Structure 1
């Protein structure tokens, strides 16, 4: 089992230099730093990529990659040009992840995020969009197979996306793709909104789970005695023999592009400074590790 932290915990912008965050993650006890398309990655700037790789190797940190697509890259768009642009973007990202020595790409890879609900959506709209997503992902996943990259499709709540919100929807879609290098990314924040019973949903998803995000129901760092039943959630992961990565994905600071997209409108850290924020994370990691080991 590896434990990771999403880089957005420490920054308010998606487009940020991740190099200083690698030793920080390692010093706090993490095995993985999850990042987005950091500056230089999509451009395949070899000097920048090699420097990031070197720092990660020096600190024994694995880099995983996670993102959502902008509307002009939407794989469900009725517009062929938009879908083709989205397919090519993810294919280029897969190639870049490969060049970085990575193996895991996750997120809302099938549509735009966060979705902007500018018009009424019908169930026929949803059905047709899912067909377009499936057709687009078939192309993307062939590229991922070629480069040895595993893709995990993230299920998010109804306020951020409309195609797949529940585990049952995700399993049905993922199995229709029939690709061994494709799985689901489940996230406790979204599951708290969409699932009647989080542990039961984890058990239903079973081996379809390839990646797992954790944070509290309000995006804070996991902690004992909170609204989410962490012992039961972790027991469900043990019951399905989950041995992948558990990545912390708390967001506690407002402002910036991250605050806007995640909808953080107040400071959730208790006005903590950088040292205190790190301590909250360290305590959360210790809590989940010790709970999972029992």
Structure 2
């Protein structure tokens, strides 16, 4: 299998039910991927399953093998930072805090945070939801400052701020250099966003890109080339804004290694063309 030109990171999303995080990272490192976004789930990587000694040992292994984790990422399905059930919101905040501590212990500098979930059928009033989100993120920000971490707030279609316009308007209320956007291009495609324009307007407020393909009719994270995301224009916009962070290949596939390699090759062709 062809190796990937250096410069891209990878997500362990496709590996989280079958491999430990370390095993998945080693597989992707063999493709020359690095600076990873690691999913946080039991059996793959989970705060309560790692003692202090085990965390130290894993951190040492990562250093020795040259594997760099940029961010940890809790799946959105199990948590809700805007839940109207206060006990559940508190649990969600606490789990993010424990994940941020794990990130710090493993030498990672950030956590990806999905900004809550709301029903598309009958959501609560937006102003009430945004107040809950503001409170949740302020709690995480205090921890991020203590641990020297960043928070990448993900653009996600099931949240109360699913578009760049909504995201930027909300983040203006919580302006801080530790809070940046994780811009997911297939999520943006699904909500009908003009991604190159959104990237230019966001500028240096984007801290991480998530790259995969999808369409405006199906929410997917496919191999690049299988959907309608305009990667050539997106890469141009990223270059114009001077983005220097990590671009994560977040491909969800049963043949993840093959599709990661094919996606990176497609991106290289976009740059050359």
TM class, shorter-chain normalised?
0.7 to 0.9
Aligned to 1:219: 221
CA distance in 2, matches of 1:89, 1:184: 20
Equivalent position to 1:84, from 90, 97, 105? 90
Give the CA deviation at 1:70.
5.1
3-state SS in 1 of match to 2:100: helix
> 1:243 and 1:60 mapped to 2: Cα distance?
20
Give the Å deviation of 1:59.
Answer: 3.0
Structure 1: gaps of 5 or more residues: 254-273
Report the Cα offset of residue 289 of structure 1.
Answer: 4.2
**Mapped partners of 1:279, 1:78: distance in 2:** 42
| Normalised TM-score (structure 1) | 0.79
Q: Which residue of 2 aligns with 1:198?
A: 195
Question: Paired residue for 2:73?
Answer: 66
* C-alpha separation in 2, matches of 1:143 and 1:167: 25
Contact 1:6–1:34 (Cα < 8 Å) also in 2? yes
User: How many aligned residue pairs are there?
Assistant: 259
Can you list the C-alpha shifts for 1:201-251, whole angstroms capped at 9, x where unaligned? 11111111111100011422224x863221111000001100100001111
User: Residue 197 and residue 22 in structure 1: after superposition, are their counterparts in 2 closer, same or farther (change >3 A)?
Assistant: same
What is the aligned partner in structure 1 of residue 217 from structure 2?
none
Match for residue 11 of structure 2 among 6, 12, 15: 6
- Does the CA contact (< 8 Å) of 1:221 and 1:248 recur in 2? no
Q: Which runs of 5+ in 2 are unaligned?
A: 1-5, 215-219
- Residue 135 to residue 213, structure 1, CA distance change in 2 (3 Å): same
Runs (4 or more) in structure 1 with deviation over 6 Å come to: none
What is the SS of the residue equivalent to 2:47? coil
- Compared CA separation, residues 75 and 283, structure 1 to 2 (3 A): closer
2:21 aligned counterpart, secondary structure: coil
Deviations, residues 16-61 of structure 1 (Å, cap 9, x unaligned): 5112112211110111222122546412423432343233223322
